[in-house]
Structure 1
Amino acid sequence: MQQVNIKVYGIKTCNSMKKAFEFFAQHKIEYEFIDYKNCPPSFTFLESLDNHIALQNKGGLHCLINTKGTTYKKLKSEYPNIADAQDISKEMIIAHPSILKRPLILVQCNGDISEVLIGLEQLEYIISGG
């Protein structure tokens, strides 16, 4: 029997995260929450995430960058070499985790990542079963 776990990454005070928490409560879905403010992503985690996103044909790690947010805009003004999200390095993400879109949801089957979901609009995937 497959054991499915859901890990939700984000920032507790973010409005998108509050909506995600409401969704999980409404649908009685258990999950583990990891707050970027208390536990920023590691280089190894970002490498693994990059690989899984590429396997899902969703692009690469750059698709996780919130280009509409203030963190991205601030970094772009501080570093003129940043032309777009692809120019954001893993080190920048680690130093500024609020640059990531939220929620970031990892669906794991038997300990392995089976799906990477990005943003509120993908929450329905969880209850539809893909």
Structure 2
Amino acid sequence: MTVRLYGIRNCDSCRKARQWLTRTGIKHEFIDLRDTPVNREQLVAWREALGDDALINKRSQTWRAFDEQQREATRQDPIPVLIAHPTLIKRPILDAPPHTLAGFSAERYEAALAGAD
């Protein structure tokens, strides 16, 4: 199984997720969203798997800095906004087919990755 973790290097939740994956011996690849932006197809797949509420980080500084017009544009069609503002993506995103998870929870990761190596 290919396990990919998407996030931002200095994000505390991403660090916790990476440490957990390493501690549990699960091989994974970390992709920094600032260095390697995700493409439209990947965002569409995440949106279908997670839904907008789980994908868009409305607690982020990016969201708080948006005016109401930018927020409404994000609600209408979040994909172009997420491409332009990757820090708006809730992180980390664990992509371990067939599972896609947003945010870090050791319990959820353990359940999704049972048997992964």
TM-score class normalised by the smaller sequence: 0.7 to 0.9
Q: Which runs of 5+ in 2 are unaligned?
A: none
**Which amino acid in structure 1 is aligned with residue 65 of structure 2?**
K
Aligned with 1:105: secondary structure? strand
**Cα shift readout 1:18-43 (whole Å, capped 9, x = no counterpart):** 10111011101101111101111111
Q: Which residue matches 1:111?
A: none
**Cα shift readout 1:91-115 (whole Å, capped 9, x = no counterpart):** 110010011111101112xxxxx11
Decide whether the 8 Å contact of 2:74 with 2:81 is kept in 1: no
Shift of 1:73: 1.1
Whether 2:61 is the aligned partner of 1:70: answer: yes
Question: Which residue of 113, 120, 126 maps to 2:104?
Answer: 120
Q: How many residues align?
A: 113
Aligned with 2:35: secondary structure? coil
**Which amino acid in structure 1 is aligned with residue 111 of structure 2?**
Y
Whether 2:20 is the aligned partner of 1:29: answer: no
Shift of 1:61: 3.6
How far apart are the structure 1 equivalents of 2:88 and 2:47?
Answer: 15
**Cα shift readout 1:36-95 (whole Å, capped 9, x = no counterpart):** 0111111121122223x1xxxx4x2442111111111112x2x43625963452111001
What is the TM-score with the length of structure 1 in the denominator?
0.75
How far apart are the structure 2 equivalents of 1:88 and 1:98?
Answer: 16
Whether 2:42 is the aligned partner of 1:6: answer: no
What is the TM-score with the length of structure 2 in the denominator?
0.83
Aligned with 1:38: secondary structure? coil
Q: Which runs of 5+ in 1 are unaligned?
A: 109-113
Structure with the largest fraction of helix: 2
Superposed CA RMSD: 2.1
